[in-house]
């Protein structure tokens, strides 16, 4: 779990995307996620994703745009979050080895007491979810 001295940062943004997704699409999805639960990026502690996207420009640029640190997790660590997912996917499992990326990464980074503040939402080529740190 991430910790931060500023207790106003109580959320983790989980992101997933197809390779080569335009960063503006991912940014717009992140902003939509923030709006859906009524928070601003200043309340977000970090961006989290799967380690297969550790060099994905869209995810890196979104984190830089919001000035947020990144956390990446192996598929096995994300798979351990499956019981807490609202939208597990066999298709995602077949592609990356875990039943979800955005929800699982947000929860993994937020810790065992975390809950999904926003289950997975989608754009054409990306997913976003937000976990609230417990």
- Residue 25: give its domain's CATH number: 3.30.420.180
Helix axis angle, 23-37 to 57-66, nearest 10°? 50
Q: What strands, in cross-sheet order, belong to the sheet with 126-132?
A: 70-73, 44-50, 11-17, 126-132, 115-122
Tens of pLDDT along the chain (134 residues)? 455 445 678 999 999 999 999 999 999 999 999 999 999 999 999 999 999 999 999 999 999 999 999 999 999 999 999 999 999 999 999 999 999 999 999 999 999 999 999 999 999 999 999 999 98
User: What domain range includes position 64?
Assistant: 11-132
Domain count, the chain: 1
Question: 5 lies in a domain?
Answer: no
Reported pTM: 0.93
Q: Is residue 75 part of a domain?
A: yes
Residue 40 lies in a domain: yes
Q: Is residue 115 part of a domain?
A: yes
Q: Is 97 left (phi over 0), alpha (psi -120 to 50) or beta?
A: left
Residue with tokens 């810790």: 111
């Amino acid at each position: 779990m991430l910790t931060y001295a500023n207790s106003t940062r109580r959320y983790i943004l989980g992101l997933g995307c197809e390779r080569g997704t335009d960063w503006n699409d991912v940014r717009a999805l992140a902003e939509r996620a923030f709006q859906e639960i009524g928070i601003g990026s200043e309340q977000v502690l970090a961006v989290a994703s799967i380690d297969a996207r550790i060099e994905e420009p869209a995810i890196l640029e979104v984190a830089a745009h919001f000035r947020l640190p990144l956390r990446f997790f192996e598929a096995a660590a994300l798979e351990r979050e499956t019981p807490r997912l609202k939208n597990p996917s066999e298709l995602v499992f077949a592609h990356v080895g875990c039943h979800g990326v955005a929800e699982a990464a947000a929860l993994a980074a937020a810790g065992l007491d975390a809950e999904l503040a926003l289950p997975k939402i989608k754009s054409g080529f990306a997913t976003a979810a937000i976990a609230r740190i417990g």
